[in-house]
A and B are shown apart, each in its own frame.
Chain A
Amino acid sequence: MDIGVEAYLLVSMLLFCIGMAGVLVRRNLLIVYMSLELMLNAANIALVALSRFNDNLNGQVMVFFIITVAAAEVAVGLALIVALYRRHKTAQVNELNSLKL
């Protein structure tokens, strides 16, 4: 069995879509946020695999940036969720619907 770049991509795609399903389906904001991390990680896997496939390091640099950005996003996002929870006493997506129509 020859593991090619397609296999890596397939895994990353699966992870991407699992994460997407989490974002779309789960009601808990924290889990939604974790699912978003899954999606970013899926991209990371793809980038590293393709970086190797393409024989250059630019993809890995990109992954480095993504990890950093993800960290920053997590920090801000979680702070926001905390602030929300403090006011709303909830972190449920479906209860955030005062702005609509």
Chain B
Amino acid sequence: MHDLLFILFSLLIVVFGVLVVAGKNPVNSAMFLVPLMICVGGLFVLLGAYFLAAIQILVYAGAVIVVFLFIIMLLDMDVEKGRRINSFAAVAGIGSSGATLGLLVLALSRSDLGAAGGGESALQGETIPLGKLLFTDYVLPFEILSVLLLVAMVGVILLSKKKLQ
């Protein structure tokens, strides 16, 4: 079951990923992003990270993509003008990402991570320990993130408010 779900989610992730990237217009891409995020959440569930799966779906599918769609609608841009890509960019982009993939896979193939994953882990239903960790060891980055969110708020206001002094 686990394996089957993994294969399903993985395939979907890759397929939707390609669709997002290859989408004709931003709306399409954004729409393909939703199931992708859900599938990623599914993988998190498979890995036992339920809390993160929830956040993933809430934040990404619920918030981020909504904002994307909002903006797309706001700006009223649907189709890219002219050619979507130019050939040089395509060659360079696909070439370099392909090369990166090659490197990563090569590295992966050379590594011996063993077959530890998949089995029963001690990390089951980890929300509480995760919360503890977040508010003890990682409280400082957590607090810094709050500043970061504040910055984001301020920034958005600064960048989008109509009135200029």
Q: Which residues of A contact B (CB under 8 A)?
A: 1-11, 13-28, 30-31, 33-35, 37-38, 41, 44-45, 48-49, 51-53, 55-58, 60-61, 63-65, 67-76, 78-83, 85, 90-92, 94
Contact (Cβ within 8 A) B115 A24: no
Contact (Cβ within 8 A) B80 A24: no
Nearest-Cβ distance from residue B66 to partner chain A, whole angstroms: 11
Contact (Cβ within 8 A) B20 A91: no
9 contacts between A and B (CB under 8 A): A18-B14, A21-B98, A24-B96, A24-B97, A55-B121, A63-B49, A68-B145, A76-B159, A82-B160
- The residues of A that contact B49 with a CB separation of less than 8 Å are 48, 51-52, 60, 63
- The residues of B that contact A45 with a CB separation of less than 8 Å are 13, 40, 43-44
Name A's interface SS: helix
With both beta carbons as reference points, the residue of chain B lying nearest to A5 in the complex is identified as B117
Chain B residues touching A, range:
35 or more
- The residues of B that contact A49 with a CB separation of less than 8 Å are 43, 47, 117
**Cβ-Cβ contact count across A and B, 8 Å cutoff:** 250
Nearest-Cβ distance from residue A34 to partner chain B, whole angstroms: 5
Q: Which residues of B contact A (CB under 8 A)?
A: 2-3, 6, 10, 13-14, 17-18, 20-21, 23, 25-26, 29-30, 33, 36-37, 40, 43-44, 47-49, 51-52, 55-56, 59-60, 63-64, 67-68, 71-72, 74-75, 77, 80-81, 84-86, 89-90, 92-94, 96-98, 100-101, 104-105, 108, 113-118, 121-123, 126, 129-130, 133-134, 137-138, 141-142, 145, 148-149, 151-153, 155-156, 159-160
Contact (Cβ within 8 A) A8 B105: no
Nearest-Cβ distance from residue B153 to partner chain A, whole angstroms: 8
Among A13, A20, A21, A35, the residue within 8 A (CB) of B108 is A13
Nearest-Cβ distance from residue B79 to partner chain A, whole angstroms: 9
With both beta carbons as reference points, the residue of chain B lying nearest to A56 in the complex is identified as B123
Q: Contacts A26-B85, A81-B71 hold; do A37 and B64 have CB atoms under 8 A apart?
A: yes
CA of A92 to CA of B86 in the docked complex: distance in angstroms?
12
Contact (Cβ within 8 A) A58 B21: no
Contact (Cβ within 8 A) A34 B121: no
Contact (Cβ within 8 A) A53 B117: yes
Contact (Cβ within 8 A) A64 B14: no
CA of A8 to CA of B47 in the docked complex: distance in angstroms?
10
Nearest-Cβ distance from residue B56 to partner chain A, whole angstroms: 7
Contact (Cβ within 8 A) B40 A24: no
- The residues of A that contact B72 with a CB separation of less than 8 Å are 30
